[in-house]
Amino acid sequence: MKSYIIPEFQVERDDFRCIRCEVCVRQCSFDVHRYDEEEDQVFADESKCCGCLRCVTLCPTRALVVRRNPTQIPDNYNWTMEQLMDAYKQAETGGVLLTGMGCGRELPIYWDHIVLDASQVTNPSIDPLREPMELRTWLGAKPDRLEMRGGKSRPKAEGMGPQLKLETPMMFSAISYGAISYNTCEALARAASELGTYYNTGEGGLHRDLYKYGDHTICQVASGRFGVHADYLEAAAALEIKIGQGAKPGIGGHLPGEKVSLEISRTRMIPEGSDAISPAPHHDIYSIEDLAQLIYALKEATHWTKPVSVKIAAVHNSAAIASGIVRAGADIVAIDGIRGGTGAAPTRIRDNVGIPIELALAAVDDRLRAEGIRNRASIVVAGGFRNSGDVIKAIALGADAVYLGTPALVAMGCHVCRKCYTGKCNWGIATQDPYLSKRLNPELAARRLVNMINAWSHEIMEMLGGMGINAIESLRGNRLRLRGVGLSREELDLLGIKHAGE
């Protein structure tokens, strides 16, 4: 069948600059570039180009430009080029459209319509370079009041759940070994350890060689139960039951057998080369009381020493669901918004199911406070954070901490080309191909992660200091320090903030 698909990108090569070094040929796993020895020319098959810019970035003479194909269909607001091409793809294959990364649709990004406050005259702003500025954050259940027990030898606050100590209110989101390479997992683990925060294994188990970073690891228990065994639970600092994911609420996951290498098969405890299928629901959780059973089973299995988180996708009734989760005994509620990332998801689900994290967060924080149970669990939010401005606004809306997934991958080189599901990631991140995965040096990648989180932390400190605040907990849920710009009355009410000028 003749394909009607027009390439998305154009590859332009400046022949004067090109020295025929063939870096682009070797770097492109999609085989876009080809060197013809006879003609001494490099050619490009643009139909394969995903726009990841690996070749552009590594070209030593800057001879390459990749730009959007300017070819136009007749102007039509409804039938855009993208809609057309998607329809052709399905007409040619009969398949469900697959994609990677988070939803990039033109849904409102509320962070961009929220602005922060600063001190002027009546209270002094604080310079974090000269004065203390505290970002330390504790995740876990807290009692409503302090009652110390255990005397001098083992002082402990009555009712205080096990706590995660974060030196900055940012963690790395759940990304499974399988979706990403071993080196990428190691980089995340190293960076989290150095930063005094945590990374999340996702649902793919934990490679034995990474157990040494266990104190900074949150181990996930998902519907496929891959790699869940006593040592895995024991190695973790905290456990997370994954109910849903912002990029694909309501559906499960599928790691194709070709990606299940020997190491992955050992880690996930499945036969080499077999598909790893995560069912849409947990088949032992058909309601809230079942979830409570699993929460307590995990607590029992780890001798009540580790906090248990429950992660859900942000959907219409998140507030009520979160309330149930807290009452079911979770120490942390993690909520993943519609812009949250993924290694693979059906395009239509990613782009159409779920709600923006800003609204879900505001609703959940409000509900837990209205029910007087906000102390009983921490709120961690994920899905769509791009910079420290987004993070600090999330904290002011009521989050205890945030999960960063895509920003972490970007720090390591990801260019958000959305082809994670192909396993051919040119940046060595979302791949199991040894030729590609060795491109990511765990030490250097960890350095990039640490740098970025440190930079964001500094920026958060500057913004806190500007507000005359020197501890993050004084901003958490402090929505008076936020104002909306260009939002409707209903949106402002849902977010619990005033409009700028009010």
Partner 1 sequence: MLRHVLFRDDKDFAGCSIFGMMDRGGGRTNGEPVMRAIANMKERSNGLGGGFAAYGIYPDRADLYALQLMFDDHCARRETEEFIRSGFELAEAEPIPVRSTPEISDPPLLWRYFVQPMPSCLREDEGEDDYVVRAVMHVNVNIDGAFVFSSGKDMGVFKGVGFPEDVGRFFRLEEYEAYTWVAHGRFPTNTQGWWGGAHPFNILDWSVVHNGEISSYGINRRYLEMFGYICTLHTDTEVIAYAVDLLLRRHGLAIEDLAMVMAAPLWDHIDRMPREQRARATALRQIYGSLLMNGPFSIIISNRTRMIGLTDRIRLRPLVAGVAGRMIYISSEEAPMHLIEEGLERTWIPTGGEPIVAELEEIAIQRVGAGR
Contact between residue 132 and residue 157 where contact means Cβ atoms under 8 Å apart: no
Contact between residue 497 and residue 479 where contact means Cβ atoms under 8 Å apart: yes
Instruction: For residue 127, state whether it binds partner 1 (rule: CB under 8 A).
Output: no
Angular region, 501: left φ>0, alpha ψ -120 to 50, beta rest: left
Tell me whether residue 2 or residue 130 sits nearer to partner 1 (CB atom). Answer: 130
Instruction: For residue 478, state whether it binds partner 1 (rule: CB under 8 A).
Output: yes
Tell me whether residue 293 or residue 478 sits nearer to partner 1 (CB atom). Answer: 478
Instruction: For residue 305, state whether it binds partner 1 (rule: CB under 8 A).
Output: no
* Of 230, 166, 216, the residue nearest 188 (C-alpha): 216
Tell me whether residue 95 or residue 151 sits nearer to partner 1 (CB atom). Answer: 151
Please provide residue 156's backbone torsions phi and psi, each rounded to the nearest 5 degrees: -150, 140
Please provide residue 277's backbone torsions phi and psi, each rounded to the nearest 5 degrees: -110, 120
Select the span of 11-19, 244-252, 292-300, 470-478 touching partner 1 (CB under 8 A).
Answer: 470-478
Tokens, residue 220: 């996930």
Candidate residues 68, 96, 112, 124; the one interacting with partner 1 per rule CB under 8 A: 124
Looking at the DSSP bridge assignments, the partners of residue 379 are: 333
Question: What letter would DSSP give residue 75?
Answer: P
Instruction: For residue 156, state whether it binds partner 1 (rule: CB under 8 A).
Output: yes
Candidate residues 54, 142, 350, 439; the one interacting with partner 1 per rule CB under 8 A: 142
Candidate residues 477, 487, 491, 495; the one interacting with partner 1 per rule CB under 8 A: 477
Contact between residue 314 and residue 355 where contact means Cβ atoms under 8 Å apart: yes
Three-state DSSP state, 363: helix
Looking at the DSSP bridge assignments, the partners of residue 310 are: 241, 333
Tell me whether residue 373 or residue 416 sits nearer to partner 1 (CB atom). Answer: 373
- State in angstroms the smallest separation of the CB of 156 from partner 1: 7
Tell me whether residue 100 or residue 161 sits nearer to partner 1 (CB atom). Answer: 161
- State in angstroms the smallest separation of the CB of 368 from partner 1: 9
- State in angstroms the smallest separation of the CB of 321 from partner 1: 20
Contact between residue 191 and residue 167 where contact means Cβ atoms under 8 Å apart: no
Contact between residue 136 and residue 165 where contact means Cβ atoms under 8 Å apart: yes
Helix (H) or strand (E) holding 394: helix 388-397
Tell me whether residue 137 or residue 342 sits nearer to partner 1 (CB atom). Answer: 137
Tell me whether residue 166 or residue 189 sits nearer to partner 1 (CB atom). Answer: 166
Tell me whether residue 405 or residue 477 sits nearer to partner 1 (CB atom). Answer: 477
Question: What letter would DSSP give residue 439?
Answer: T
Contact between residue 396 and residue 479 where contact means Cβ atoms under 8 Å apart: yes
Q: Which residues contact 244 (CB under 8 A, 6 or more apart)?
A: 250, 311, 312, 313, 315, 336
**What whole-number distance in Å separates Cα of residue 166 and Cα of residue 200?**
14
Helix (H) or strand (E) holding 10: strand 9-13
- State in angstroms the smallest separation of the CB of 145 from partner 1: 4
Instruction: For residue 130, state whether it binds partner 1 (rule: CB under 8 A).
Output: no
Instruction: For residue 144, state whether it binds partner 1 (rule: CB under 8 A).
Output: yes
Q: One symbol per residue from 359 to 398: x for binding partner 1 (CB under 8 A), - otherwise; what is it?
A: ----------x--x-xx-----------------------
Candidate residues 97, 471, 494, 500; the one interacting with partner 1 per rule CB under 8 A: 471
Instruction: For residue 88, state whether it binds partner 1 (rule: CB under 8 A).
Output: no
Count interface residues toward partner 1 (CB under 8 A): 43
Q: What are the C-alpha distances in Å from 204 to residues 19, 50, 221, 253, 259?
A: 43, 26, 9, 11, 12
Instruction: For residue 54, state whether it binds partner 1 (rule: CB under 8 A).
Output: no
Instruction: For residue 194, state whether it binds partner 1 (rule: CB under 8 A).
Output: no
Contact positions with partner 1 (CB under 8 A) in 345-364: none
Select the span of 156-164, 224-232, 298-306, 439-447 touching partner 1 (CB under 8 A).
Answer: 156-164
Instruction: For residue 502, state whether it binds partner 1 (rule: CB under 8 A).
Output: yes
Contact between residue 495 and residue 397 where contact means Cβ atoms under 8 Å apart: yes
Candidate residues 70, 95, 132, 501; the one interacting with partner 1 per rule CB under 8 A: 132
Instruction: For residue 475, state whether it binds partner 1 (rule: CB under 8 A).
Output: yes
**What whole-number distance in Å separates Cα of residue 379 and Cα of residue 332?**
6
Helix (H) or strand (E) holding 389: helix 388-397
Residues at the contact surface with partner 1, assessed by CB under 8 A? 119, 121-124, 126, 131-132, 134, 136, 138, 142-146, 148, 152, 155-157, 160, 163, 369, 372, 374-375, 467-471, 473-481, 498, 502
